[in-house]
Amino acid sequence: MASSFAPPKLADFILTERLGSGTYATVYKAYRKGDNREVVAVKVVGKKSLNKVSMENLLTEIEILKTVRHPHIVQLKDFQWDSENIYLILEWCSGGDLSRFIHSRRLLPERVARLFLQQIACALQFLHNHNISHLDLKPQNILLSGSVLKLADFGFASYMSPWDEQSALRGSPLYMAPEMVCRRQYDSRVDLWSVGVILYETLFGRAPFASRSYAELAEKIRSDKPIELPAGARVSRNCRDLLLRLLDRDPDTRLTFTQFFSHPWVDLEHMPNAESLGKAKDLVLKAVQKDQEGDRSAALSLYCSALEHFVPAIHYETDRLRKDALRQKVSQYVSRAEELKALVSADNSLCFEQFKSTRDILREMSRDQPRVLAALELASTAIAMEENGIEDHDTLALYQQSLGELLLALAAEAQGRRRELLHGEIKSLMTRAEYLKEQIKVGIAMT
């Protein structure tokens, strides 16, 4: 390995401060010689420290990094070697690693954790599409360049098709999936467990299995006890769902990559990127057109969809003046969406009132149908919650549960007046549920 007392000499670069070191490598900050003085990171691997396995890992790392180009993966600019060392010339990330960032703040707000996870998910989606598994995901291997995260250190990475399995112990114990710690056959799903541990640590300031020794850690990971969030944990329903499904000890019931990439909390469709502003502008033009045509409901929906892209566009913008101008525009759209929300709410209140009497008649006609009565009671509870201003996912879940039962009843109901009323009630509840979805969407877009 390179001497820890002085950095090695490299023809085109001046190596300066040591950033960190591991079993096989030391990383230095460096400047390219010449006029532009480009800043890079140089990973120095001592040839004498490499055995057959670590040499294969290094060659795989170089092969992977030479072929991948992604905004959330550290770029390998070049690699060189001499009689003593192999040098990987890497993109410089000035913000240090995610571990240091978390520890400096103790824990991150859910909003920030989500922005970070979206970037990790975006990189993993790219790797997954190229059958590449990282196998050593941890905060120390995720670097920051401003507010942009980049996956780094592909020393344990491997080409793995979805059906490929391995048994070699790879990665860092605190972030290893149970099937790997237990030395069972494993596949690329171990990366999803690691993502779950990282997310847990960003939200709560520590990994779920913090331990004083490897033996204690291994025992906790091997346990059959389900993962629990810290007492008093305040996270959204979708965040909790994602976290617990990622930290499923059984890889066969753990969230799949497809489910992870499409999960509503990950929401890759609305992550901040170069396309966010263009999508927002297209939607707001359609919203203005519908607004001018007097189609309030459609205009409201389009304004909300536009805001879902405007907010990430603000996060993505780095120029302060453009960011402030964008915020002012968004404020105007939020105000108009609020006005439309009030108008649409008034319109729908009149519409919903008309179904009240028919619901009472249906209830009377369904006294011999306990499941229908129970479903109607659920619907009444949801309506009462909504009318009391509780426009959240719990209310929506009650609507969905009620509709599930009523649709089953409709399928079994013979032709007649009760079927007509049942059909009308389902249409009314579906309208309310869709309206509630829009209100939830408005709330999210405006926060």
- Provide the pairing of β-strand 85-91 with 39-46: antiparallel
47 known member of a binding site? yes
Integer Rg of the chain from CA = 27
Angle value at C-alpha 12, between 6 and 13, nearest 5 degrees: 40
Q: Give the end-to-end CA distance of the chain in Å, rounded to a whole number.
A: 51
From the list 78, 97, 136, 191, the catalytic residue is 136
Listed in sequence order, the residues at least 6 apart from 147 whose beta carbon sits closer than 8 Å to its beta carbon are 115, 315
Phi, psi of 16, deg, nearest 5? -115, -115
- AA identity, residue 158: S
- Report residue 257 CA to chain centroid gap: 12
Distance CA 176, CA 127 (A): 19
Count CB atoms within 10 A of the CB of residue 383.
21
Angle value at C-alpha 99, between 91 and 134, nearest 5 degrees: 60
**E strands, 51-140, in order:** 76-81, 85-91, 132-133
The owner of tokens 């906790």 is 220
| Token code pair at residue 370 | 């306990």
Asked whether 296 and 289 are in contact (CB, 8 A), the reply is no
- Report residue 355 CA to chain centroid gap: 40
Distances (CA, A) of 214 to 174, 182, 196, 197, 220: 9, 13, 20, 16, 10
- Report residue 117 CA to chain centroid gap: 4
368 as an active site residue: the answer is no
Distance CA 42, CA 76 (A): 10
Listed in sequence order, the residues at least 6 apart from 249 whose beta carbon sits closer than 8 Å to its beta carbon are 178, 224, 226, 227
Helices and strands of the chain, counted as H and E runs: 15, 9
Task: With both helix axes pointing from N to C terminus, report the angle between 356-365 and 417-445 in degrees, rounded to the nearest 10.
Answer: 130
* Burial class of residue 427 in the structure, from the number of CB atoms within 10 Å of its CB (0-12 exposed, 13-18 middle, 19+ buried): exposed
Using CA of residue 166, residue 167, residue 172, residue 173, what is the dihedral sign?
positive
Q: So which residues are the catalytic ones?
A: 136
Sequence ranges of the binding site: 47
Sequence ranges of the binding site for ATP: 47
